[in-house]
Amino acid sequence: MAERKVAWKPRAENALIGKRISRIDGVEKATGHAKYAADINTESTLYARVLTCPHAHAKVAQLNVEPAKKIKGVHAVHIFRDVGSEIRWDGTPVAAVAAERVEIAEDAVHAIEVKYEQLPFFVDEEDLEAAQKLDEANLDAEGRLKQVAREAGHIQRTKLLIDQQQGDVAAALARAKAVHTGYYGIATISHMCLEPHGSHCEWDGEDQLNVHLSTQRVTGTSGMFAGPLGLDATDVTITCNYVGGGFGSKFAVDEWDMACAKMAKEAGRPVRLMLDRATELKIAGTRPSGFAEVTIAADDQGNIIAWDSHHWGTGGVRGGTVRPGQYPYVFSFKNRNRKATGIATNCGSNRAWRAPPHPQLCALTDTAIDDLAAKLKMDSYDVFMKNLDKTPRADVYAEEMKIAAKLIGWKEKWHPHGKSGRAAAELGGGHVKRGLGMALHHWGGNAHAATCRLKVNPDGTVESFAGSQDLGTGTRTVIAIVLAETFGLPLSMVKVHIGSSLYPASNGSGGSTTVGGVTGPNRRAGLEALW
């Protein structure tokens, strides 16, 4: 008997995999029939609005929610932060109201009486000198916060994260053909999911909670609701048929989701609480900033022989910046000095965002190399190629660069810095400029853990059930393609069920792991069903 092996067919034998396939849920999304958490409106749903603090740093001095409770149509009020609570960034939730209509909830929020005691704050993530001067004034000789500063509400603003020396940078600079010194920066960016963070919560009796959650992690979030509510995870059902963006910021159950569940319990009616756009921008997560002073040098052949940098930035109140140990990015230079300082700012904390923090590190590194190439009067492609021996996978990068250069016509289109180039001339010159740039990236993503349940029906159709989600990667479609390929069926005979915590467990969608994660178990289940 031939050995049975779970594997993929050779590419040439595939009828669907690797082909251009329309998304099976594309029409639903394009026509508005797809229902997101923000669209859920079950019978008697109440609508919630949130009162947020307008100050970067403050204490709640007075809070009276009784005027809101007295407004007709208000059914529940939740307090996030009562009198005496410290608020450390603008947009922090203070209270929430659930009412019959959105406008009633908004009126009730405005009726809440609140006063704040404003405290010292710092929000300029780029101004390292100003942050250091604050610490000079507020820290003692041992680097501890002075009592008077603590009582006034100050905190330590800067922290040295790394200060490393490798090789002899000074000697390398002395013998270099070209030395470039530049200043580079990537400011903090706020997550701005098309569908804001939030949920729709509905109780079934006293101990069964049904949540439509905008999340990139269907499996696992039940327990995040259950613990604080005194429930078992099996008492909470999470549904997320569609999610309008997340990219790292929607892995957890947030305090506003808990407030939604509690207000639904208090009111005895479903409640929908989605952050408004302004609040979404302030508190739903940011990408850390990075600013750098860089000196970089090369010999007359374009070999980079020295790197000296100091970079800083913020990840919010906890300080931090883009990862110090990965800068310079991808390249490891023999003579290298690197220093990094984190700045604590009164801004919302960071959350993961599309390969954190690789985009910032890439920009801060590769723009400096490109500027060095300009000083050498060399094509930046050639300078990058010359220095691939300082990367972990020189052979891979070299082949990728050759392919990319051919596809975009690098040698025909590249021009030195400050030159308009043929492409710009063809556009008529003026203020319109075109150019080419080089960048190298790496990412260590792998397939995540996942399971599924497969059902083969008497009529030959196949159904898959998995507690995964579609963050935009086409989860339903890739599962359907795999099963159709495995069974030799048309896509129309495959139905994919995802987006429920009642289905078999699957990890969250992040780090470019979902397609690999969900296809493997479906391929295995399909083959085993055929065997």
What is residue 421's predicted lDDT score, i.e. its pLDDT?
A: 54
DSSP string, 411-464: HHH---TT--HHHHHHTTSTT---------------PPPB--EEEE-TTS-EEE
- State pTM to two decimals: 0.93
- Domain membership flag for residue 519: yes
- Domain membership flag for residue 258: no
CATH number of 390's domain? 3.30.365.10
**pLDDT tens, residue by residue, 228-286:** 999 999 999 999 999 999 989 999 999 999 999 999 999 999 999 999 999 999 999 99
Residues 471 and 339 in one domain: no
Q: Report the chain's mean pLDDT, rounded to a whole number.
A: 95
Question: Coil, strand or helix: which one is 229?
Answer: helix
Residues 421 and 291 in one domain: yes
Closest CA to 450 of 248, 241, 218: 218
- Domain membership flag for residue 351: yes
Residues 418 and 358 in one domain: yes
Q: How many domains does the chain have?
A: 3
How far apart CA 502 and CA 514 sit, in angstroms, is 19
- Domain membership flag for residue 439: no
* Residue 382 contacts residue 304 (beta carbons within 8 Å): no
The residue-averaged pLDDT of 93-107 equals 98
pLDDT at 97 over 80: yes
- Domain membership flag for residue 19: no
Domain coverage including residue 329: 158-189+286-426
What is residue 428's predicted lDDT score, i.e. its pLDDT?
A: 52
- Domain membership flag for residue 102: yes
pLDDT at 1 over 60: no
